[in-house]
Amino acid sequence: MTKGFAPRLKLAVKSQAKRAEKRQLRPLSEIQANLLNYVAELPDPRVQRTQKHLLKDILVISILAVIGGAEGWEDMENYGIAKQQWLEEFLELPNGIPSDDTFRRVFERINPQALEQCLAKWLQSMLGSIVGEIIPIDGKSVRGSYDRNQGIKALHLVTAWASEQRLVLGQVKVENHSNEITAIPALLELLDLSGAIVTIDAMGTQTEIVKQIRHKKANYIVSLKANHPTLHSQVKEWFDTRRANNFEGINVSYNQQIEKGHHRTEKRYVWAVPLEAFSGLYQQNQWSGLETIVLIERIRHLWNKTTREVQFYLTSLPADAQVLGRAIRQHWTIENQVHWTLDVRFHEDKCRIRSGHSPCNFAILRRIALNALNQEKTLQRSLRQKIKQASMNNDYMMTVLNSFCKA
């Protein structure tokens, strides 16, 4: 028996050694110093006489706890108590671990914009070039954050996502009695988008938003739906007529893709036509930099039915159906890799934190945690397993922070 198991044990030791080599952590003190630097500039919203715990200690414990799967204030306190001996190596903790009420009161008062600005430099330390990268922008509600007694609606956030680098670039709260049309310009203003390709669903298909994207020296692909009825019907009629004639005499770029998986087959047909071919669309000069109109037809064959969907897009990019089809497809990574992950792995929709600024601040912490875990690539496991490993293993938490603290 021993002889039979010996080779496998040697392999296991070798693989562990390789993983250790890959991690190559910088000095522990350097990682911890970087972490403290990122939160040191945040203004303390508390009255000085009530400051029993240091703000930087509260923030660091909060970030580490959320990376480890914390879903509320009690989780943060419990994480701190469980890790107190380790935390005392780099935090001052003059009065021990803050209570859950302390975490709650602090995050109710912290200005979310100040928190995001202080942590933006953390993001800059790891963000590579975004030239040519697809940047989807989309909104998501934190469904559990409503307060019926106070007449407060659920928090709604608009998020920008670097799809290839798998980083949340920023988020902006949609104010009450408003919508994403007002929040998207505020988010765009915060971001450096030079050379990127911004993709937005129909809600953000507005001439002023498109103009702002071009002013930021970026390209755009925006969905055209019935919220622009005249332009939509004109484009639809043009494509219906030309498709019936096989686009005879029209300079058209065409591409098709077939994907199979999850018990379904999806066929996507893409036609990209230069703007000149349309001989004048409704108010076309108001769409800054508009070059191409795109038609995508999606046919999904499920086990019990077949569905067909036709969608139009406006873009400042040249008429290359393959490039445009791939970029439009990539827009949905924000749904699959951000919104779905926040709900399923961080249980965002179930969270009932709702007082003061705490819903927005906790949402920022979740997105910081998502960025940190996405950048750690040495552990080839699911995000769920990474969260669990970070909560239990201090060395792995340092590995996560090592990949995140590069400045």
Range of the domain at 283: 221-330
In a domain, 157, yes or no: no
One domain for residues 312 and 398? no
Question: Distance from CA of residue 205 to its chain's centroid?
Answer: 20
C-alpha 80/C-alpha 263 separation (Å) is 45
Element (H, E) at 120: helix 112-124
In a domain, 200, yes or no: no
Neighbour-count burial for 139-163, b at 16+ CB within 10 Å, e otherwise: bbbbebbbeeeeeeeebbbbbbbbb
The answer to whether position 98 is within a domain reads yes
What is the tens place of the pLDDT at every residue in 186-220? 999 989 999 999 999 999 999 999 999 999 999 99
Q: How confident is the model at residue 259 (pLDDT cuts 50, 70, 90)?
A: confident
User: Same domain for 285 and 374?
Assistant: no
Read off the pLDDT of each residue in 234-247 and give the average, rounded to a whole number.
94
- Statement to judge: residues 31 and 113 lie in one domain: yes
pLDDT of residue 406: 60
The verdict on 285 and 320 lying in the same domain is: yes
My answer on whether 235 and 311 are in the same domain is: yes
Note whether residue 133 is domain-resident. Answer: no
**Do 384 and 299 have their domain in common?**
no
Residue 271 within a domain: yes
Question: 0.95 exceeded by the pTM?
Answer: no
Identify whether residues 96 and 27 lie together within a single domain: yes
Question: For the chain, what's the residue count?
Answer: 407
Q: Which residue type occupies 95? A: N
SS3 166: coil
- How many domains does the chain divide into? 2
- What pLDDT does residue 27 have? 62
For residues 375 and 325, state if they share a domain. Answer: no
The string of pLDDT tens digits covering residues 16-65 is 434 444 445 556 667 777 777 778 788 999 988 888 999 999 999 999 99
Task: Dump pLDDT digits (tens) for 376-391.
Answer: 999 999 999 999 999 9
Quote the tokens at residue 99: 């209570």
Q: Quick one: 316 and 380 in the same domain?
A: no
Same-domain status, 382 and 306: no
In a domain, 259, yes or no: yes
Asked if the structure places residue 252 within a domain, the reply is: yes
176: in domain: no
φ and ψ of 114, to 5 deg: -65, -40
